[in-house]
Structure 1
Amino acid sequence: MQRRQVGACGLSVGRLGLGTMTWGGDTPPDVARTLLRDFVEAGGDLIDTAPAYGGGRAEELIGQYMRSDLRRDDLVIATKAGFGTHGGPQGIDTSRRALLDDLTDSLRRLRTDHIDLWQVHAWGDAPLDETLAAIDQAVNAGNVRYAGVCNFIGWQIGTAAAWQSAVPGRARLVSGQIEYSLLARRAEVEVLPALNHHGMGLLPWSPLGRGVLTGKYRRGVPRDSRGGRDHLSWFVEPYLDTRSRAVVDAVARAADGLSLSPAQVALLWVRDAPGVTAPLLGARTPEQLGELLDTEPYDLPATIVEALDDITGGPHQARSKGPIDK
């Protein structure tokens, strides 16, 4: 698998990442183990997780498999802090205490002494300088190598990144994670320009439009899909509208012409979009993951990219200005 630098920092990762949101829940441990092994065998190393995933179970599984199946050095572990129960109802808490408590628990569950990429899971109500001071403390202690943010909008990224770069010795933010796909291009308006300006890489989640771009919902909602499950149907429903169906139809037509699957076309569009470091794959089965990993030798023709741009919102402004360093 080809590698990319995360923004302007010294960390490099494979150009596809593996997401673990369903591990410990809809994805059983034996399947998670197979997914992790298949991903690493294909040259992948970026594993994205969080304390909130499976109530910590996703991190526990990764920690277990690093002892039984893989070496710690085989993986670039990206986890998060600031979203979870924290002893009460689930919610956002980006205070120094909550973040550092999350870090301590993540290190224990992952059975490691450091996190490669530690991310603030969401913008919170705690003073920003307190949140960012927790990152500095974790990096200075050696528990964290690099830091980033998740689900921040443009001005939030700019404010946080500028604060960290204002004083020598603060831990610079190197990445931002947000939803980005042919069905969700809002990141191009403010998030991508902010990341690019501050030398940060983009780690898109749901590059397949929450599974809708695979085409599996074209004739209804399969019972075994996320949309067919009561606890996840809310996640898929926003993309089951008329506009989304038109986009899925266009992706399917492109896939037919290229002898690829719709999922592969949708992933390739995101993978090679300007500013993207590594889309995070939320595959729930080895078959799904294998299909996506098989995209490694492929690139979409420029004419297909332009057509998909036009159908889903218009030209990609960064693309028209020339390539952004990955």
Structure 2
Amino acid sequence: MGPPLKKPERIKQQYSLASRESEFEAFQVCKNEGIGVLPWSPLKGGLLTGKVKRGEKPTEGRVGWVASDESRKMQSHPVWHETPDRVFDVIDLAEKIGKKYDRSIAQVAIRWVLQRDVTTSVIIGARTLEQLDQNMAVNDWSLTADEMKQLDDASALDVNYPYLTINLFNADRVNGCTNDYYVAF
């Protein structure tokens, strides 16, 4: 037999205001086991930058690249017309919050990911130095607990089977690993 498996200190997961599926199981396990999450694609392939508009076919970025040939569609860069209205509502809310701080939609989206209690950092991508500078400028401000809740509520996914049933039959149980906590900086 080989050496015992080392418990991972962190996992990498796609996670954003437009992609919260990991919260149903993976993040609960991570919280329970003390494993941090290093999210990737916090802007969902450019969808959460504000460049993609509701009802308008994009022409730039990864989402525009997929719009020109939908066979390129992947989880990290979706087809724009399949994007749920909920995501465009989140973009509108992020824009409103961003104006309060003189920040971009992308900066609000990255800041939200960074303030999640399970995340340790975030993997960002940038095509230009300007994008990198903008994405890195998220460390000198924070979202309030109320703003985090607004973004949570707007981006919440429908709870389907089996999670709906699990929640129903375990409503009287308390599991601290299933609660969402924010980190204030």
Q: Same fold (TM over 0.5)?
A: yes
Q: Which residue of 1 aligns with 2:180?
A: 319
The whole-number CA distance in structure 1 between the counterparts of 2:52 and 2:13 is 23
SS of the aligned residue for 2:11 comes to strand
Deviation string, structure 1 residues 272-318 (Cα, Å, up to 9, x no partner): 1011011110211111111011111111122211111111118x953
Q: 2:89 aligns with which of 246, 252, 259?
A: 246
Q: Which residue of 1 aligns with 2:151?
A: 308
Q: Which residue of 1 aligns with 2:79?
A: 237
SS of the aligned residue for 2:78 comes to helix
SS of the aligned residue for 1:281 comes to coil
The whole-number CA distance in structure 1 between the counterparts of 2:72 and 2:111 is 25
Residue type at the aligned position of 1:228: G
Q: 2:108 aligns with which of 234, 246, 265?
A: 265
Does the CA contact (< 8 Å) of 2:47 and 2:63 recur in 1? no
The whole-number CA distance in structure 2 between the counterparts of 1:228 and 1:170 is 42
Change (3 A) 1:170 1:291: same
Q: 1:184 aligns with which of 8, 15, 19?
A: 19
Q: Which residue of 1 aligns with 2:59?
A: 223
The whole-number CA distance in structure 1 between the counterparts of 2:50 and 2:17 is 13
Q: Which one has the largest radius of gyration?
A: 1
Does the CA contact (< 8 Å) of 2:45 and 2:63 recur in 1? no
Does the CA contact (< 8 Å) of 1:274 and 1:318 recur in 2? no
Q: Which residue of 2 aligns with 1:213?
A: 48
Structure number with greater CO (CA < 8 Å, separation at least 6) is 2
State the Cα RMSD in Å.
Answer: 2.5
Residue 210 of structure 1 deviates from its aligned partner by: 2.2
Task: State how 1:101-250 maps to structure 2 within 5 Å.
Answer: 169-218=4-53, 220-229=56-65, 230=69, 232-234=72-74, 235-237=77-79, 240-250=83-93
Residue 199 of structure 1 deviates from its aligned partner by: 2.1
Residue type at the aligned position of 1:185: R
The whole-number CA distance in structure 1 between the counterparts of 2:64 and 2:44 is 16
SS of the aligned residue for 1:181 comes to coil
The whole-number CA distance in structure 2 between the counterparts of 1:243 and 1:170 is 41
The whole-number CA distance in structure 1 between the counterparts of 2:19 and 2:118 is 15
Does the CA contact (< 8 Å) of 1:227 and 1:236 recur in 2? yes
Task: State how 1:46-61 maps to structure 2 within 5 Å.
Answer: none
Superposition TM-score, scaled by structure 2 size = 0.74
Q: 2:133 aligns with which of 290, 302, 309?
A: 290
Change (3 A) 1:216 1:278: same
Change (3 A) 1:174 1:249: same
Change (3 A) 1:200 1:317: closer
Identity over the aligned pairs, expressed in percent? 30
